[in-house]
Amino acid sequence: MNDDPRSVVRESIAVEAPIAEAFRVFTEHCHAWWPHSYRLGSAERTDVVLQPRVGGLWYERTADGIECGWGIVQVWQPPARLALSWQIGRGFVPDADPRRASRVDVTFTESGADSTTVTVVHSQLQRHGDGWTDMAEAVSGERGWGGILRSYAEVVAGHCA
């Protein structure tokens, strides 16, 4: 086990939406809020799919018809919790080996009648092997989960306007 604090990235954001709507936008509209330049395939990304069940796939679809796996749904507890494996290796390439997958836990906490706090905890980054700290740096901060969650919040605001 790795106790290195860099093996866990945590980001939160408050959105002005009821918890069920915040969960729905996160899970059903990934393509709208995931930055369009962030893709695994070589062609333009046309969709991000998150199948709504434990064992469901999380993947991107590109204009050339290719589906690139991102991970598998580990926990599905709407509207409060979702966990995904992150089967994207260093250098942002698909890695189908679940032994090298990190984990993304997303919690939705009601913070008012029409307000929800969304927290992403990306953990087990050391499972990516040598150079895992590069992955930890890539998914933290503005270009990582911080910026991705701000993009998500903008889409939530548009859905709830």
pLDDT digits (tens, 9 = 90+) for 63-119: 999 999 999 999 999 999 999 999 999 888 999 899 999 999 999 999 988 999 999
Residues 9-33, mean pLDDT to the nearest whole number: 97
Domains and CATH numbers, the chain: 7-159 (3.30.530.20)
Residue 2: per-residue pLDDT: 54
Model-wide pTM > 0.75 = yes
DSSP letter string over the chain?
A: ----GGG-EEEEEEESS-HHHHHHHHHH-HHHHS-TT--SSSSPEEEEEE-SSTT-EEEEEETTS-EEEEEEEEEEETTTEEEEEE-EETTTEE---GGG-EEEEEEEEEEETTEEEEEEEEE-GGGG-TTHHHHHHHHSSTTTHHHHHHHHHHHHHHH--
* Position 42 confidence tier, pLDDT thresholds 50, 70, 90: confident
Residue 160: per-residue pLDDT: 72
Residue 1 above 70 pLDDT?
Answer: no
